Structure 1
Amino acid sequence: MSENIAAIATPFGTGGISVIRISGSTAILEFNKIFKGPNLEKAKSHTIKYGHVVSLDDGRILDEVMVSIFRAPRSFTAEDTIEVSTHGGVLVTQSVLNEILKLDVRKAEPGEFTQRAFLNGRIDLVEAESVMDLIEAQNESALKIANLGLSKKTSTLVHDLLDDVLDLIAKIEVNIDYPEYDDAIEMTNELIRPVAVKLIEKFNKLIYHSQRNQLIKDGIDTAIIGRPNVGKSSLLNALIEEDRAIVTDISGTTRDLIEARLNLGGITLNLIDTAGIRETDDVVESIGIDRSIEAIRRAKLVLLVLDQSNKLTKEDKELIELTKDKKRILIGNKSDLDKQIELEGLISISSLHQLGLEDLEREIISKLSLTEIETEDFNYLSNERQISKIKEAKASMEEVVRGIDLEMPVDLIIVDLTNSYYSLADILGKSYETSIIDQLFSKFCLGK
């Protein structure tokens, strides 16, 4: 018997309708006590019933509703579930929820519906994480990644690797446990090594593409840098087509990081407008400059803005040297004025007059290889937890190869093979710690 839980599943605020979700062993029985309409206990699964929610105390009507019935196990949580569609006012929705909570129903914790779906075997951990990815998707590519996770295609990728590792373990264990079994192939180190090497190659491919997926999903940190008053904030405002950053002729106006998002070529750029980097005695400005240097270190792409109406200064040259090993685009701002700078690959723009921005966007797309995004196969992993587990599986498989090269016996080699298997299983949540699961689902919104 599972406790009955309830929560508002739609965003808080006024709208056409609101939806309250209830799930649990006796969810239908309990809600039927305050429902005036057809007997919900006799209703078939996947049907909708019209009626009214009434007060448990005096029978007065609280709202006119439509009730969707989903009987176990054919529901999101694999439990009896109902979804009550009320009118979309804040007060009326809350009053219906409050009446539901007078029954043998408690308020759900954030993510508890999805957690129950996972614990009841309705979805695996990759699918559960994909639910949140779908909600938080910032661009079309992120939506594709999330939908692949929800459709079990990403999970199938991991299952195939699990099967490969398990097949190898099973063959070795037959040799160890049943040495008298004549039909079993003797699994020597010479036979195991090429299989392990092939698995490492598969892990490497998966890690590479999964890290790319993670960048596409989470966005690419892009630092806009330069000395003071070269037009960094103007560039940020021009790219996002709104005034997020303060623009003045006074050097050092930007003293903290200003962040904004730009969807470009199917992915999201996390733009960071940094404080102008120069030598200064101003304590507050110095803190901003330190944060700018840290932003450069973290950034996957650097947009280095230069004032091309003036010759390169000492600060310009230092920034060019500082970022030489980063993925970088040199931008010459103020192209409407006389040009004083000649640098290879310099993109000329005028943030003030909106000139050259299309050239800059094309260069960003080229620099990040975003032209491939439209045809990309996104069926890989996409978050830090999943990728770290694949790396663990790979590390254990590398220990298998290392052990074979050191001529270790097969019964010791199997320990690292088993560790590799468990790391893969952790991706799907086949083995898990309760604390980790609780932490993961606590990030979800109420009603999911």
Structure 2
Amino acid sequence: MENQYEKTIAAVATAMSDSGIGIVRISGAQAFEIADRIYRGKKEKKLSSQPSHTIHYGYVADQEELVDEVLVMLMRAPHTFTGEDTVEFNCHGGVYVVQRVLELLLKNGASAAEPGEFTKRAFLNGKIDLSQAESVGDMIAARNEYALKNSMRQMLGELGCRTKELRGRIIHEIAFIETALDDPEHISIEGYQEQLRETTKKIKKEINKLLKTWDNGRIIKEGIKTVILGKPNAGKSSFLNALTRRESAIVTDVEGTTRDVIREEINLQGITLHVMDTAGIRNTADAVEKIGVEKAKELAEEADLIIYIADASRLLNESDKEIAEICREKKVLVLLNKTDLESRINEKDIRLLFTEHISVISISAQNRTGIEEVEEEIKKIFFRGELSFNNEVYLTNARQKEALREAEEALSRVEESIYAGLAEDFYSIDLMEACDALGKITGETTGEDVIHEIFSKFCMGK
């Protein structure tokens, strides 16, 4: 039975919607032969006889019937993304015509590609490591400038290179220990424990540095879960409209207008905010409004950031104290709203509600003043004002984070063995575990089931 990865595969590589162009990709040993069966060019030339990395104008045909006018890109192995012979048909972008070209390729010998199979073949053929493959999926899913930049760095192999370098240093120590144990007459391990302790300490430090990027990396990739809290009629919906620069929420003078959660996705200076405007926090007998208040509290528990809108034109009350309590142990930004009206409270009053230091900004959501300052402050809260991509790679993948954590724990056990004065055999066992854990990041020690799970999440045609 033919192995799936020995087949020549085909899939649509662009979105299935009406567009200017649609690309159908085919990869495998028979790519040129199958392409020849449906291509009609000038002077009856065959694609299989043309040089690599060239583009040819012609038609796709089903026997005598012309289906579409196309440009065909030819790429020969091994200088392709998958490492295999690859042909790409650039068609007109109608859904039907692209689907028809794909059907013709399947009819003439190609097999339908599995989700992510082109990228999976690139990995299996050694064109990219697993961290680079995962970054391809992250790049497709990128919703903001920083997520795209970080995915690009990882796709270029930054994380893989760092991991391989650390793994290489561990392998060197394993090899030394094993050789010394096999040939004690010629290789002395006297004083080696101290040397290994220093090496282990340095490697752990570099792993820990990567792990520390996780929180910011997750936010770069997934965005900041942001919940807007405040009393009824404090200006929460007006603030949301000012932030989105459009009328996202209904604004009235009637308290309790917002009952359900209003969700918006905002690109804020290169970072994505998932903003949720919630019902005003207060004691209420209204059953529907009460459900909205409880939902607001639940969302606040899961939030990365709480924006607390305080009404400067009204005195603080028990509802404000309740909101301050909800905000404890959370990243919180307090906005003193309605500063265009006569103020009855000030920043000092707000700070008395909190035991820890908080950021307070005066705004007028109605007049849309202070919004730029809010944007800058949010960036400071999470990234100390700026993100640098000169030398930094942010960890955004939970699987990779877990592998690094496993490696760090294994190296800690090596240190414990050294302090306990255990035999060198114990060092090798834990060093090998650290080595295997780091190998999971690049795919060198990753099981087939995990690899299948990773690529099954990719879109078709990638």
Would you say same fold, with TM above 0.5? yes
| Residue 185 of structure 2 corresponds to residue 203 of structure 1 | no
Q: CA deviation at 1:295?
A: 2.4
**Distance in 1 between residues matched to 2:449 and 2:266, nearest whole Å:** 36
Deviations 1:144-184 (A, max 9, x none): 111111111221111111112111211111122222333x5
Deviations 1:41-67 (A, max 9, x none): 1122111122211114xx211111111
Deviations 1:188-214 (A, max 9, x none): 433322222222211111111243223
Partner of 1:412: 426
Partner of 2:48: 41
Match of 1:346 among 347, 355, 360: 360
Q: How large is the Cα RMSD of the aligned pairs?
A: 2.0
AA of the residue aligned to 1:423: A
**Counterpart secondary structure, 1:372:** coil
**Distance in 1 between residues matched to 2:292 and 2:190, nearest whole Å:** 65
Q: CA deviation at 1:256?
A: 3.5
**Does the 8 A contact of 2:377 with 2:385 survive in 1?**
no
Closer/same/farther in 2, CA of residues 169 and 390 from structure 1, 3 Å limit: same
Closer/same/farther in 2, CA of residues 408 and 248 from structure 1, 3 Å limit: farther
Choose 401-410 or 128-137, whichever is displaced more.
401-410
| Residue 137 of structure 2 corresponds to residue 132 of structure 1 | yes
Q: CA deviation at 1:374?
A: 4.7
Match of 2:256 among 227, 232, 252: 252
**Distance in 2 between residues matched to 1:164 and 1:18, nearest whole Å:** 47
**Does the 8 A contact of 2:300 with 2:326 survive in 1?**
no
**Distance in 1 between residues matched to 2:189 and 2:339, nearest whole Å:** 73
AA of the residue aligned to 1:356: G
Choose 239-248 or 167-176, whichever is displaced more.
239-248
| Residue 163 of structure 2 corresponds to residue 158 of structure 1 | yes
**Does the 8 A contact of 1:137 with 1:143 survive in 2?**
yes
Q: CA deviation at 1:90?
A: 1.9
Q: CA deviation at 1:185?
A: 4.6
| Residue 399 of structure 2 corresponds to residue 399 of structure 1 | no
Unaligned stretches of 5+ residues in structure 2 = 349-358
**Counterpart secondary structure, 1:332:** strand
**Counterpart secondary structure, 1:143:** helix
Match of 2:116 among 100, 106, 111: 111
**Does the 8 A contact of 1:45 with 1:69 survive in 2?**
yes
**Distance in 1 between residues matched to 2:390 and 2:340, nearest whole Å:** 39
**Distance in 2 between residues matched to 1:409 and 1:256, nearest whole Å:** 64
Q: CA deviation at 1:248?
A: 3.2
AA of the residue aligned to 2:398: E
Q: State the percentage of identical aligned residues.
A: 42
AA of the residue aligned to 1:259: R
AA of the residue aligned to 1:170: A
Choose 277-286 or 61-70, whichever is displaced more.
277-286
**Does the 8 A contact of 2:309 with 2:334 survive in 1?**
yes
Closer/same/farther in 2, CA of residues 346 and 380 from structure 1, 3 Å limit: closer
**Distance in 2 between residues matched to 1:381 and 1:31, nearest whole Å:** 41
**Counterpart secondary structure, 2:60:** strand
Match of 1:99 among 76, 101, 104: 104
Choose 158-167 or 226-235, whichever is displaced more.
226-235
Closer/same/farther in 2, CA of residues 284 and 430 from structure 1, 3 Å limit: farther
Match of 2:298 among 294, 298, 301: 294
Q: CA deviation at 1:346?
A: 3.2
Describe how 1:180-259 pairs up with structure 2 within 5 A. Answer: 180-182=185-187, 185-186=189-190, 188-259=192-263
Q: CA deviation at 1:286?
A: 4.0
**Distance in 2 between residues matched to 1:347 and 1:160, nearest whole Å:** 46
Choose 71-80 or 347-356, whichever is displaced more.
347-356
Partner of 2:353: none
| Residue 372 of structure 2 corresponds to residue 358 of structure 1 | yes
Partner of 2:356: none
Closer/same/farther in 2, CA of residues 312 and 110 from structure 1, 3 Å limit: same
**Counterpart secondary structure, 2:387:** helix
Q: CA deviation at 1:39?
A: 0.6
**Does the 8 A contact of 1:223 with 1:301 survive in 2?**
yes
Q: CA deviation at 1:98?
A: 1.6
**Distance in 2 between residues matched to 1:293 and 1:334, nearest whole Å:** 24
Deviations 1:363-421 (A, max 9, x none): 22333335331566332432211112111111111111122222222201221111111
**Does the 8 A contact of 2:380 with 2:386 survive in 1?**
no
Partner of 2:59: 52
**Distance in 1 between residues matched to 2:65 and 2:270, nearest whole Å:** 52
Q: CA deviation at 1:428?
A: 0.6
Partner of 1:81: 86
AA of the residue aligned to 1:303: I
Unaligned stretches of 5+ residues in structure 1 = none
**Distance in 2 between residues matched to 1:165 and 1:211, nearest whole Å:** 27
AA of the residue aligned to 2:283: E
